[in-house]
């Protein structure tokens, strides 16, 4: 075997190692800190950025803790963490503004980031940045100048235009309130017309006429017609005579009418009409019978007859 043939396997292994190292370097998460200056005058501001370039889009980054102050320096503003996406790279960036009020040499410390790639977690640190804070240079060769006198600023009414407008608006509001509540305090109260209360017989006759106008049985709604006709009659008996007609069956109601006093003598005389009305209504509602058209008319006539003949006099009122 020649020397060249022995060397070829080693060359191939070396090339594979280089490819692996290149891929590992490419897949490494990078962190860094950079500033726009390393020298300021007392009170000036400096901006610096923390940047993290994750290895992959699946890399999780625990952002560094930013304190409120650094020894010798004051942090003025902590910007949000921005996400910058390029074609195939991802970058997280945060801007921080700080200043110094004492001259000297300081360091912006290193910041640590917790990076998790898959099951592997590691801490990555930025570099610390030096910063020189200088005092204002004073030319000691020049004589000390006296303090200048106070300069009076010329008065201009336009410097106070916002205050003037506010006062005018306030005066206008006060005038409006005075006119509305004092000058115009006599508010006319609208008169509400008091509707007369319907008497039981008036209410019952109105409902019977409305039911008759609906023409329910003419439209085949026989059950609904008798149900409404029966309810109107029973409610009238309750309101006119104080009988619990809605809670009683037809037999119970007819039996109750036999026991009424002389004050309800007229109602007892109409017991036969009431019996025909309620019996026919029960047959139509519960037995599903089909009364003849003349029976529909007779029941409506009986209901109106009961109301007309038992209505209260003007001086009597409801019993």
What is the pLDDT averaged over residues 164-189? 82
What is the pLDDT averaged over residues 285-292? 81
- Strands of 63-174, DSSP E: 69-70, 73-85, 90-99, 104-108, 112-117, 120-125, 129-134
pLDDT of residue 258: 74
pLDDT of residue 261: 57
Lateral strand order in the sheet of 30-35: 30-35, 45-53, 90-99, 73-85, 69-70
The helix (run of H) or strand (run of E) holding residue 31 is strand 30-35
- Strand 129-134 vs strand 39-41: parallel, antiparallel, or unpaired? parallel
Question: Residue 188 has which token pair?
Answer: 């006319």
pLDDT, one tens digit per residue, over 106-134 is 999 999 999 988 888 899 999 999 999 98
Among candidate residues 112, 40, 51, the one with its CA nearest the CA of residue 74: 40
pLDDT of residue 263: 45
User: Which residue shows structure tokens 């000390």?
Assistant: 144
pLDDT of residue 302: 87
pLDDT, one tens digit per residue, over 226-239 is 899 889 988 988 88
pLDDT of residue 207: 92
| 108, 33 Cβ separation under 8 angstroms | yes
pTM for the full predicted model? 0.40
Question: Residue 249 has which token pair?
Answer: 């069956």
C-alpha 211/C-alpha 242 separation (Å) is 24
| 264, 311 Cβ separation under 8 angstroms | no
Q: Find out if CATH 2.60.40.10 is the number for domain 25-134.
A: yes
Mean pLDDT score across all residues of the chain: 82
Grade residue 272 by pLDDT with cuts at 50, 70 and 90: confident
């Amino acid at each position: 075997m020649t020397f060249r043939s022995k060397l070829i396997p080693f060359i191939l292994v070396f090339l594979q190692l280089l490819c692996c190292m290149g891929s590992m370097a490419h897949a490494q998460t990078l962190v860094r800190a950079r500033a726009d200056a390393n020298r300021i005058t007392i009170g000036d501001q400096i901006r610096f950025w923390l940047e993290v370039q994750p290895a992959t889009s699946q890399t999780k980054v625990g952002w560094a803790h930013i304190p409120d102050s650094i020894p010798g320096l004051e942090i003025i503003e902590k910007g949000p963490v921005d996400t910058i996406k390029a074609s195939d790279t991802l970058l997280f960036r945060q801007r921080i503004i700080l200043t110094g009020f004492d001259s000297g040499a300081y360091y912006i410390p290193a910041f640590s980031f917790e990076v998790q790639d898959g099951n592997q977690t590691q801490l990555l640190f930025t570099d610390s940045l030096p910063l020189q804070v200088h005092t204002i240079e004073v030319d000691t060769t020049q004589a000390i100048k006296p303090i200048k006198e106070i300069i009076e600023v010329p008065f201009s009414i336009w410097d106070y235009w916002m205050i003037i407008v506010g006062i005018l608006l306030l005066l206008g509001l006060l005038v409006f309130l005075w006119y509305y509540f004092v000058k115009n305090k006599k508010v006319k109260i609208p008169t509400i017309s008091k509707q007369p209360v319907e008497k039981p017989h008036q209410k019952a006759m109105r409902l019977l006429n409305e039911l008759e106008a609906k023409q329910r049985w003419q439209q085949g709604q026989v059950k609904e017609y008798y149900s409404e006709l029966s309810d109107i009659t029973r409610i009238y008996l309750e309101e006119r005579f104080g009988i619990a007609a809605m809670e009683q069956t037809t037999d119970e109601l007819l039996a109750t009418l036999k026991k009424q006093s002389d004050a309800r003598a007229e109602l007892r005389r109409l017991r036969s009409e009431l019996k025909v009305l309620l019996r026919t209504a029960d047959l139509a509602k519960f037995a599903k019978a089909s009364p003849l058209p003349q029976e529909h008319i007779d029941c409506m006539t009986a209901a109106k007859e009961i109301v007309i003949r038992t209505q209260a006099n003007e001086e009597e009122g409801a019993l």
